[in-house]
Structure 1
Amino acid sequence: MPKIDSHQHFWIFDPVRDSWIDYSMLAIKRDFSPLDLLPVLQDNGIDGCISVQASQTDDETGFLLEHAEVNSFIKGVVGWIDLKADDLEAKLQGYLHYKKLKGFRHVLQSEPDPQYMLQPAFKKGIGTLQKYGYTYDILIYPEHLPYAAQLVAEFPDQKFVVDHLAKPHIKSQEIKDWQSDIEVLARHLNVFCKVSGMLTEADWSAWKTNDFTPYLDVAFNSFGTNRVMFGSDWPVCLLAGGYKRTMEIMQMYCANLSAIEQDLFWGGNAISFYNL
Structure 2
Amino acid sequence: MIDAHHHLWDPDLGYSWLDAPELTAIRRPFTADDLRAELGAHGVSRTVLVEGGCCRAGEVPRHLAIAAATPEIAGVVAWADLTDPHLATTLAGYRTLPGADKLVGIRDQVQGRADADFLDTAEAHAGLAAIAASGLAFDLVVRVDQLPAAARAAAAHPDLRFVLDHLGKPRISAGAAGLAEWRTAIAPLAACGNATAKLSGLVTEADWGRWSVADLRPYVAAAIEAFGADRLMFGSDWPVCTTAASYGQVLTALRAALPTETTDTEREAIFGTTARTTYRLEA
In which range does the TM-score fall when normalised by the shorter chain?
A: over 0.9
Residue type of the partner of 1:164?
Answer: H
Instruction: Please give the alpha-carbon distance, in whole angstroms, between the structure 2 residues aligned to 1:152 and 1:167.
Output: 18
Instruction: Please give the alpha-carbon distance, in whole angstroms, between the structure 2 residues aligned to 1:109 and 1:85.
Output: 17
Residue type of the partner of 1:111?
Answer: R
Q: Which residue does 1:121 correspond to in 2?
A: 123
Worse-matched range after superposition: 244-253 or 38-47 = 244-253
Unaligned ranges ≥5, structure 2: none
SS of 1:99's equivalent in the other structure is helix
Contact 1:78-1:104 at 8 Å conserved across structures: yes
- Does the C-alpha gap of structure 1 residues 21 and 213 become closer, same or farther in structure 2, counting only changes over 3 Å? farther
Instruction: Please give the alpha-carbon distance, in whole angstroms, between the structure 2 residues aligned to 1:42 and 1:20.
Output: 27
How high is the TM-score relative to the length of structure 1?
0.95
Q: Which residue does 2:276 correspond to in 1?
A: 271
Q: Note the C-alpha offset of 1:81.
A: 1.5
Q: Which residue does 2:226 correspond to in 1?
A: 222
Q: Which residue does 2:2 correspond to in 1?
A: 4
- Does the C-alpha gap of structure 1 residues 13 and 20 become closer, same or farther in structure 2, counting only changes over 3 Å? closer
Correspondence for 1:197 among 197, 201, 214: 201
Q: Which residue does 1:61 correspond to in 2?
A: 60
Residue type of the partner of 1:234?
Answer: W
Instruction: Please give the alpha-carbon distance, in whole angstroms, between the structure 2 residues aligned to 1:106 and 1:195.
Output: 19
Instruction: Please give the alpha-carbon distance, in whole angstroms, between the structure 2 residues aligned to 1:155 and 1:145.
Output: 15
Q: Which residue does 1:27 correspond to in 2?
A: 25
User: What's the % identity of the aligned pairs?
Assistant: 33
Q: Note the C-alpha offset of 1:21.
A: 4.0
Q: Note the C-alpha offset of 1:246.
A: 0.5
Q: Note the C-alpha offset of 1:20.
A: 4.1
Moved over 6 A (4+): none
Unaligned ranges ≥5, structure 1: none
Contact 1:21-1:28 at 8 Å conserved across structures: no
Contact 2:60-2:94 at 8 Å conserved across structures: no
Q: Note the C-alpha offset of 1:58.
A: 1.1
SS of 1:156's equivalent in the other structure is coil
Q: Which residue does 1:99 correspond to in 2?
A: 101
Q: Note the C-alpha offset of 1:69.
A: 0.8
> Is 1:210 paired with 2:210?
no
SS of 1:229's equivalent in the other structure is strand
Correspondence 1:126-275 to 2 at 5 A: 126-173=128-175, 174-254=178-258, 256-275=261-280
SS of 1:212's equivalent in the other structure is helix
Residue type of the partner of 2:267?
Answer: Q
Instruction: Please give the alpha-carbon distance, in whole angstroms, between the structure 2 residues aligned to 1:110 and 1:68.
Output: 26
SS of 1:158's equivalent in the other structure is coil
Q: Note the C-alpha offset of 1:15.
A: 8.9
Q: Note the C-alpha offset of 1:40.
A: 0.2
Instruction: Please give the alpha-carbon distance, in whole angstroms, between the structure 1 residues aligned to 2:271 and 2:87.
Output: 33
Residue type of the partner of 1:93?
Answer: A
Worse-matched range after superposition: 228-237 or 52-61 = 52-61
Instruction: Please give the alpha-carbon distance, in whole angstroms, between the structure 2 residues aligned to 1:189 and 1:231.
Output: 20
Instruction: Please give the alpha-carbon distance, in whole angstroms, between the structure 1 residues aligned to 2:229 and 2:66.
Output: 31
SS of 1:19's equivalent in the other structure is helix
- Does the C-alpha gap of structure 1 residues 223 and 21 become closer, same or farther in structure 2, counting only changes over 3 Å? farther
Worse-matched range after superposition: 113-122 or 201-210 = 113-122
Aligned length: 274
Q: Note the C-alpha offset of 1:27.
A: 1.8
Q: Which residue does 2:114 correspond to in 1?
A: 112
How high is the TM-score relative to the length of structure 2?
0.93
Q: Deviations over 1:108-133 (max 9, x none)?
A: 11112222222212211110111110
